[in-house]
Amino acid sequence: MEVREVIERYYDCVNRGDWSQWLTLFSDDVAGDEQLAGHFSGIDVLRGAIDAISHGYSRFNMYPQRIVVEGDAACVVWRCDAANAAGTAIAYPNEPQRQVIGANFFQVQNGRIVYMRTIHDSLPFAPFVNQSQS
């Protein structure tokens, strides 16, 4: 699979909630840095993250706004449309209509993601981090 195809499939799987297919996009020794969860290493960490995403969000979509691929690296600027398990929108508290934008950086080798970094403003994600908010 070419790098762009891997990246497009990543967002397709996320938006369909197809987490088993999503996992196939990563190498077993994947590493990454996630804005909310911190550094991770290994596919088993991502397996565990699926449970947190599936139970922590009632809606979770990431819509690529721009995809840039250079060699084995890709950067994606995305827009997030999500809500926590209670249905509280992932949004800016004082500007609920403001788009939640972030970016992912990917390193892909042999058709698999070997490194991923997520960058975004953490403020809109407070309803996910603290599920007691409504």
Taking only the tens place, the pLDDT of each residue in 13-35 is 999 999 999 999 999 999 999 98
| Other Cβ atoms closer than 10 A to 77 | 14
Q: What is the pTM of this model?
A: 0.91
Tens digit of pLDDT for each residue in 64-99? 999 999 999 999 999 999 999 999 999 999 998 999
CATH of the domain at 14: 3.10.450.50
Each residue of 34-52: pLDDT tens digit?
Answer: 988 899 999 999 999 898 8
132 in a structural domain: no
Question: Considering its fold, how many domains does the chain have in total?
Answer: 1
113 lies in some domain: yes
134 within a domain of the structure (yes/no): no
Residue 26 burial (C-beta neighbours within 10 Å; 0-12, 13-18, 19+): buried
Kindly state the tokens that stand for 91: 């949004």
Pair 30, 54: CB distance under 8 Å = no
* 133 domain-assigned: no
> Which residue segment(s) compose the domain that 13 sits in?
3-127
In this structure, is residue 106 part of a structural domain? yes
Does residue 62 sit within a domain? yes
- Residues 79, 93: Cα–Cα separation, whole Å: 17
